[in-house]
A and B are shown apart, each in its own frame.
Chain A
Amino acid sequence: MNDLRLLFKSVRAENRIFWRTPIGAFFTLGLPLIMLVLFVAMFGNEAGFSGSITTSQFYAPGLAVFAAASATYTNIGMLLTVRRDDGILKRMRGTPIPPRVFLAGVVLSAVWIAFVSTVIMVGLGIVAYGINIELAKVPAMLLSFVIGAVCFATLGITLASVAKSAASAPAIANATLLPLGFVSNVFVSFGQDSPRWLEVVGDIFPLKHFATAFSASMNPFTQTPAIEWGHLGVLLLWTAGGALVASRKFTWEPVAGATPRGRRSRRSR
C-alpha cells in the first residue's frame, strides 16, 4: 500500500519534471506534429500514398509511434543518465525508496507522456485530415500502444545502462532511433522496389514492428480486430532482452572516468 502511494508520487514528480522542461516537451510532442503537417502538405492528402491509404493515414500512426518512442526511449535514456551524473540516483539508493518502484515510476510517467503525444497526433489526424478510427479496432490500438511504449521505455533503461554519461545518451538515442525511422515505415513508405537489406534491417529492430502493429489498427482495410500478434511478439522479445541487459548493467553511481559534473577535479591516475 505504501509502495503504491510512493509509485503514484514518483509518477507525479516525473511528470512535473517533464512538463517543466519546455525544450524536452517540444522535441517529444511538437516536432512529430510539425512533421505530420509538413509531410501532408508536401505529398498532398490523396489516397494511394502507401497501398490504398491516404498520406495522413500513413503518417499519423507512424509519427505517433515515433513520438511515443522518443517520449519513452530517448527521454528515459537522457533523464536517467543526467540524474546518475548529478548523483540523484545515488541519493535515491540511500533512501528506502525501492529501486523497482522508482524505475516503475519512470516507465509509467514516460508511457503516460507517450500516450498524451499519441492522442494529440491521432487527434490532429482525425480533426484536420479526416482519419477514421473504428471502434472495433480501438482495443488493438491500445494493446499495440501499451506493448510498444513499454518496450521502448524498457529500452530507455537499457540505453542508460550502456551509455557512460549524460553526454553520450542523447547521441546514442538519436543515432539509433532516427535512422530506424527511415527503414520502419515512419518517415518514408516502403514499396516493393525498396532494397531487400533495408527491409531486413527494419525487421530486426522494434520500431518497425511498433509502427506496423499500430498502423494496422488505424487502417480501414485491415480485418477487425487488427491485432498483429507477430509484431507484438517481437516487441515483447525486445522488452525481455532490454530488461535482461539493464538488470546486469544498470548503475546508480556516476561511471568512473566519464567526467560527470563536480568530480572532474578527482580524475587523477
Chain B
Amino acid sequence: MTNAIEVRDLTKAYAHNQAVDGLTFDVARGEIFAILGPNGAGKSTAVEILEGHRTRDGGSVSVLGVDPATGGRAFRDRIGIVLQAAGIDKELTVGEVLDLYGSAYSRRRPADEVLAMVELVEKSDDRVSTLSGGQQRRVDLALGLIGDPELIFLDEPTTGFDPAARRRSWELIEALASKGTTVVLTTHYLEEAEYLADRVAVMASGKIVASGTPDELRASADAGTVIRFTLPAVDAALAGLLDPLVGNATGRDGKIEIVTAKPTADLAHVTAWAVSHGIELAGLSVESMNLEDVYLRLVGDEVVSS
C-alpha cells in the first residue's frame, strides 16, 4: 500500500517570510500524523498546501496519489478539512448545514451518524447561531466527516475545548483512524500529539526539526535527565558550580536547569557544592525528560518569543 501523503522539498515564501523551507515527509495510510510547532512555524501553510488551498513555490506533493494543486473536485471529494477558523452560516440549522454540504460528496455519511459521532444529535434542529463555541467546533468536525473521507485534515481541532471535551474528541479521532481514515493534525498541545499521534513532526521556522514516534523523539533529542533547582541568590561562587556543567546548564532568574546523560555524577557535584557553601537548593528535582522538555529544546527561542 502506498503512502497517503508524500512531500519532498516543499517550499513556500510570502513577501518577507520563508513560511515553509524544504519540508520532506511521508504519512502512511491509516496513520495519525501530528505536526507540532509554535505559532508561525509554518504548520498551517504546509497543511493548506496539502489541502489544495494554497499553491507551492517548489518541491513535490502527492496526497492520495494526487497533486492537490490540480486535483480539483475529485480530490476534494476524498478528503475532509477542518479549518482552524472557518465560519458556518449561522442562520441555518445544524441539520440543514450538514444536508447542504453533505450533498456535495459522492460517498456521504448519513447526517444522523455524523451527529452521533460528534455528540450533537439533539442539536440537529437548532440554528448554528444558538450553539456554544465548542458545539460549533463540533459542527466543524461533523462537516469534515460528512463525506466519509479517506484522509482528514484537522487544524488545531481541540483549541478552546475543556479537558473532557478534548478527551472525547481524541477518542473520536482514534476511532476514525482505527477504521482506516488517515488523520493529519496540527496542534500546539504536546499532550494531544503524544496521546494521538503515531508519528510527530516538530516544525520551527518552516523546517522539520525532528520527527518520529513520540518515543523516538524523546530518544533522538538525546533526552537524558533534567536536574532543576532554584538558587536563593546569585552567588560569586556560581562559576565554580556551573563550570563543569557547561553546555548542559541553563539559568534564568536563579532557576537552574541541567540536562545530563550522567545525572548521578552531576547531582553529586551540585549537592556537594551546595553543602560546602551552606546553601539549601529550593525545588531540587531530578526527572527524566518528558516530551515537553524535548519540544522546548527543539523549538528553542520560538516559544519564548511567541
A binding-site residues for B, Cβ under 8 Å:
2, 5-6, 9-10, 13, 16-17, 20-21, 83, 86-88, 90-91, 93-98, 253, 262-263, 269
**CB closest residue in chain B, given A20:** B91
Contact B53 A263 (CB under 8 A): no
B4: min CB distance to chain A, Å:
17
Measured CB to CB, the nearest residue on chain A to B146 is: A95
| Also in contact, A87 and B86, with CB within 8 A (given A21-B91, A95-B104) | yes
Nearest CB on B from A248, distance (A): 17
17 new A-B contacts at CB < 8 Å, known A88-B88, A96-B73, A96-B76: A5-B103, A9-B100, A9-B103, A17-B89, A17-B91, A20-B91, A21-B91, A83-B89, A86-B86, A87-B86, A91-B87, A94-B52, A94-B83, A95-B101, A95-B104, A96-B74, A97-B104
Which residues of B have CB within 8 Å of A269? Answer: 16
> 19 A–B contact pairs at CB < 8 A?
A2-B106, A6-B103, A9-B99, A9-B100, A13-B100, A20-B91, A20-B127, A87-B85, A87-B86, A88-B89, A90-B53, A90-B83, A91-B81, A91-B87, A94-B51, A95-B105, A96-B76, A262-B85, A269-B16
Interface of B is mostly: loop
Taking a contact as CB atoms closer than 8 A, the residue among B16, B73, B92, B127 that contacts A98 in the complex is: B73
Tell me the bound Cα distance from A5 to B92 in angstroms.
18
Residue in A87, A90, A94 with the greatest tally of chain B CB atoms within 10 Å:
A94
Tell me, rounded to whole Å, the shortest Cβ–Cβ distance linking B257 to chain A. Answer: 30
Return the CB mask of B78-122 against A: 1 if under 8 Å, else 0.
010101011111011000100111011110000000000000000
Task: Output the least CB separation between A126 and chain B (Å).
Answer: 33
* Interface pair B91/A96, CB less than 8 Å apart: no
A13 and B85 within 8 A (CB): no
Q: Which residues in window 2-60 of B have CB below 8 A to A?
A: 16, 51-53
Shortest CB–CB separation between residue B102 and chain A, in angstroms? Answer: 9
**CB < 8 Å: which of A5, A88, A96, A97 contacts B86?**
A88
Collect the chain B residues with CB atoms within 8 Å of residue A2's CB. 103, 106
> Bound complex: CA of A8 vs CA of B100, how far in Å?
10
B: number of interface residues (CB 8 Å) = 29
CA distance A87 to B44 in the complex (A): 15
Is B208 engaged at the interface, CB distance under 8 Å to the other chain? Answer: no
CB distance from B290 to the nearest CB of A (A): 29
Query: Does the CB pair A94–B81 fall under 8 Å?
Result: yes
Q: Is B77 an interface residue (CB 8 A)?
A: yes
Contact A91:B100 (CB < 8 A) given known A17-B92, A96-B73: no
Residues of A within 8 A of B76 (CB): 94-96
The smallest C-beta distance from B241 to any residue of chain A, in angstroms, reads: 40
Top 9 closest A-B pairs, CB basis? A86-B87, A87-B86, A91-B86, A94-B81, A20-B91, A96-B77, A97-B104, A88-B87, A17-B91
Chain A residues within 8 Å of B106, by CB: 2, 96
Cβ-closest chain A residue relative to B93: A16
**Contact A87-B87, Cβ < 8 Å, known A96-B76, A96-B104:** yes
Alpha-carbon gap, A96 to B107, bound state (A): 11
Contact present for B83 and A96 (CB under 8 Å): no
The reply to whether the CB of B157 lies closer than 8 angstroms to some CB of chain A is no
User: How distant is A15 from chain B, measured CB to nearest CB, in Å?
Assistant: 11
For the complex, what is the distance from the CA of A93 to the CA of B77, rounded to whole Å?
Answer: 11
> Which B residue's beta carbon lies closest to that of A87?
B86
Which of B79, B85, B147 has the largest number of chain A CB atoms within 10 A? B85
Query: Do B104 and A6 touch (CB < 8 A)?
Result: yes
Min CB distance B56 to A, Å, is 16
Q: CB of B63 within 8 A of chain A?
A: no
Q: How far is the CA of A253 from the CA of B103 in the complex (A)?
A: 23
Q: Which residues of A contact B87 (CB under 8 A)?
A: 83, 86-88, 91
Q: Are B101 and A87 in contact (CB under 8 A)?
A: no
Residues of A contacting B200 with CB < 8 Å? none
Set B16, B91, B101, B127: member contacting A97, Cβ < 8 A: B101
Establish whether residues B92 and A13, one from each chain, have CB atoms under 8 Å apart when the complex forms.
yes
Is B143 interfacial (CB 8 A cutoff)?
yes
* Complex Cα–Cα for A220 and B77 (A): 55
A13-B103 contact in complex given A87-B87, A88-B89, A269-B16, C-beta closer than 8 Å: no
Complex-state Cα separation, A9 to B98, whole angstroms: 11
A269, B40: Cα distance in complex, Å: 13
